Amino acid sequence: MFATLSDRLATTFKNIRGKGRLTDADIDATAREIRIALLEADVALPVVREFVGRVKERARGEEVSQALNPAQQIVKIVNDELVTILGGETRRLRYAKTGPTVIMLAGLQGAGKTTLAAKLALWLKEQGKAPLLVAADLQRPNAVNQLQVNGERVGVPVYAPQPGNGVGNPVDVARDAVEEAKRKLHDVVIVDTAGRLGIDEELMKQAADIKAAVNPDEVLFVVDAMIGQDAVNTAQAFLDGVGYDGVVLTKLDGDARGGAALSIVQITGKPVMFASNGEKMTDFDLFHPDRMAGRILD
């Protein structure tokens, strides 16, 4: 187990209680501990550097509070900065003013898109929406079937290419699905798209083509929180290749420390909007920056 940042700093600060003000030397000593804690939480190195710089700046000149000891005070600054960067308040979904709201999911294979699609559909349904799931992942042989099974579990219809018509073209499937949604008065369309195990130009293009065809209100980049340091490259590649409005972190029930969240937000400037944390359809929630800050620091 890792020592928490509070434990580390308590040792560093043994001698400075009551000094009145944190000195530069005190702050430098704590910066080292903060750097280690963030690297252990899998935050990408350039993000760690920038973050520590921000914390140092804020810590300088702060009065040592009477209520908190210096270690607690620095932990509070770190926590506040994390919450600020991770988004403060949760960003809400944007709904279309007219016609169905189109939400498109993109990400690597195995990120948890298909599972997430059904979880999101259930969450929307519970808020009184009438979602339609769209199986536009025609790459992975079982993806359509998996979405249909999950759709059934959450009681949400799935639009999929008709059997017998060949595998179909995912761009057409997505476009037709939006028309179907209009006809059947669905107010949200969730489009599941194909992913590969690695970043792949052809697939990026396919996702970009689907995006151009259905003009989504929200494109969500779905990413496995367990991929740690790789998150930055993947997030950037999808931002360049497809573009997205928000991020969904999956598999937060695993033991990932959550550094991926901080790295992605800092590098892409896009907010994390939802968190997926288990195999059950109800293991899904809005993303809470304060909880993630706690996870990164604990």
Q: Does 234 bind ligand GDP (CB under 6 A)?
A: no
Tokens of 98: 């007219």
Indicate the residue among 101 and 250 with the shorter CB distance to ligand GDP.
Answer: 250
* Rounded least distance, CB 69 to ligand GDP, Å: 38
* Rounded least distance, CB 135 to ligand GDP, Å: 11
Asked whether the beta carbons of 202 and 215 are under 8 A apart, the reply is no
Has 111 been labeled as part of a binding site? yes
Q: Residue 131 burial by CB count (10 A; 0-12/13-18/19+): exposed, middle or buried?
A: buried
In 3D, which of 178, 202, 199 has the Cα closest to residue 190? Answer: 178
* Rounded least distance, CB 277 to ligand GDP, Å: 5
Binding mask 42-61 for ligand GDP (x = CB under 6 A): --------------------
Q: What are phi and psi of 35, to 5 degrees?
A: -60, -45
- Cα angle 117, 233, 249; round to 5: 30
Q: Does 251 bind ligand GDP (CB under 6 A)?
A: yes
| Footprint of ligand GDP on 189-208 (CB under 6 A) | 195
Give 27's Cβ-side CA count (13 Å radius). 19
Has 193 been labeled as part of a binding site? yes
Indicate the residue among 53 and 254 with the shorter CB distance to ligand GDP.
Answer: 254
**Distance, CA of 202 to CA of 115 (rounded, Å):** 23
Binding mask 94-133 for ligand GDP (x = CB under 6 A): -------------x-xxxxxxx------------------
**Distance, CA of 151 to CA of 159 (rounded, Å):** 10
Has 58 been labeled as part of a binding site? no
Residue 185's SS3 state is: coil
Binding site for ligand GDP (CB under 6 A): 107, 109-115, 195, 250-251, 253, 276-279, 283
Residues of the binding site for GTP: 107-114, 192-196, 250-253
